[in-house]
Structure 1
Amino acid sequence: MNKKIGIRSLLLSMVAVSFVGISAVQAEGLKIGYIDVKSAMENTADHQRGMKRLQALQDQKVKELQALGGKISQQEKDLLGQSMAMSPDRLAQKQQELKAMRTDFQRKQQDAQEALQAEQNRLQMSIGSKFEKVVGSYGKKGGFDMIIAKPVTLYINPKHDITADITKLLDAEK
């Protein structure tokens, strides 16, 4: 019975080795490329322009918030310095105005964050849709069987890196 198990194991091993051999032969004919997606997208002219727009928007929002923050700060100082001389009604009114200014500041801060996030999303969507189109076209024209994203794999021979080609094509795409 041990001989049968031994022969069976040997036959199964041989069949398994032959399948691996066939897969290796088939894999040799595959044309595979890989892309560092982040690098390909971030190095495009569109992305660079978009980041400048995003930075300008952020700078504008920061200025607006700093101006409002300065007003709030000044109101707090004025209120603190004059509170003893004010009537209780006037003091309550000034405190209410200050509270409204703080609430407005928080709203504007949240609006600014949402506007920046929306602009960043638009940029990513715009480049992302071009990216898919360019990679698909590049893969078909280049006869690739597979194009994979670099971060997904542990090792890829650098000769298969097509990141620079994709970045150039993305820049050429209008």
Structure 2
Amino acid sequence: MCKKVNVRSLLVSMGAVFIFGVSTAQAEGLKLGYVDVKSAMENTTDYQRGMKSLKAMQDQKVKELQTLGGKISQQEKDLLGQSMAMSPDRLAQKQQELKLMRTEFQRKQQDAQEALSTEQNRIQMNIGAKFEKVVKSYGKKGAYDMIMPRPMFLYVDPKHDITADITKLLDAEK
């Protein structure tokens, strides 16, 4: 029977074998660093500005949806209160209008979710591209042999943490 291999576990194992497989003499000569990628990116000015913009966009979409939801709710109340006095044709017409409003609400809700997701991805892609460039440059300038993402290992000596430096460089990158 085949077992599924967890890719993250495999990478961690391979990294551990690589790091610990290096002889002591070589290990002392290695210059290592690690970055908490999430923290480095989320603490940048661009990310904070982007999240503020995303929040404003979300608030606007919520307000639009609440307005439409209120109209639907009012239509439902009106229909319920007046349905006995309406002709069957008029009742069917009002029910159809209500159905169309609900469909429009669902469509707008989906569109809002897609727009928010697209904007969040755009923000992350922009910062991600800068992040890769900054880390490579930092690694070359600092003569690092390896810069790893923080969650890759269970423990790394904090003296190897370069997250704050990377965040500062990301903020300086325009």
1:65-84 alignment to 2 at 5 Å?
65-84=65-84
Partner of 1:8: none
Following the alignment from structure 1 to structure 2, what is the Cα–Cα distance between the partners of residues 169 and 153? Answer: 24
In structure 2, how many angstroms separate the alpha carbons of the residues matched to 1:22 and 1:43?
34
Q: Which residue of 2 aligns with 1:35?
A: 35
Q: SS at the partner of 2:84? A: coil
Larger radius of gyration, structure 1 or 2? Answer: 1
Residue pairs, 1:104-115, within 5 angstroms: 104-115=104-115
Distance 1:38 1:31 in 2: 22
For the residues of structure 2 that align with 1:22 and 1:80, how far apart are their CA atoms? 77
Query: Does the C-alpha gap of structure 1 residues 21 and 172 become closer, same or farther in structure 2, counting only changes over 3 Å?
Result: closer
What is aligned with 1:7? none
Letter in 1 for 2:40: A
Paired residue type of 2:33: G
- Residue 149 (1) aligns with residue 149 (2): yes
CA RMSD in angstroms, aligned pairs only = 1.2
After TM superposition, list the pairs within 5 Å mapping 1:151-166 onto structure 2: 151-166=151-166
The percentage of aligned residue pairs carrying the same residue is 81
Distance 2:106 2:152 in 1: 40
Residue 101 of structure 1 pairs with residue 86 of structure 2: no
Q: Secondary structure at the match of 2:23?
A: helix
| 1:55-96 alpha-carbon deviations (Å, 9 max, x no partner) | 000000000000000000000000000000000000000000
CA distance in 1, matches of 2:22, 2:115: 55
- C-alpha displacement of 1:156: 0.4
Structure 1 residue 99 displacement after superposition:
0.2
Query: Which ranges in structure 1 are unaligned for 5 or more consecutive residues?
Result: 1-19
Q: TM-score, normalised by structure 1?
A: 0.87
Letter aligned with residue 116 of structure 1 = L
Aligned length: 155
Partner of 2:63: 63
Matched residues in 2 for 1:66 and 1:22: separation? 60
Instruction: Quote the Cα distance in structure 1 between the aligned partners of 2:62 and 2:22.
Output: 62
Amino acid corresponding to residue 29 of structure 1 in structure 2 = G
CA separation of 1:21 and 1:105: change in aligned 2, threshold 3 A: closer
Partner of 1:133: 133
Say if 1:22 and 1:80 are closer, same or farther in 2 by CA, change over 3 A. Answer: closer
Change in Cα spacing, 1:94 to 1:22, as seen in structure 2 (3 Å) is closer
Q: Mark the CA change 1:22 to 1:71 in structure 2 (over 3 Å): closer, same or farther.
A: closer
In structure 2, C-alpha distance between the alignment counterparts of 1:31 and 1:39, rounded to whole Å: 22
Cα 1:126–1:30 change in 2 (3 A) is same
Where do 5+ consecutive residues of structure 2 fail to align? Answer: 1-19
Matched residue SS, 1:83: helix
1:24 deviates by 1.2
- Helix, strand or coil for the counterpart of 2:156? coil
Residues 22 and 90 of structure 1: is their aligned pair in 2 closer, same or farther, counting only changes over 3 Å? Answer: closer
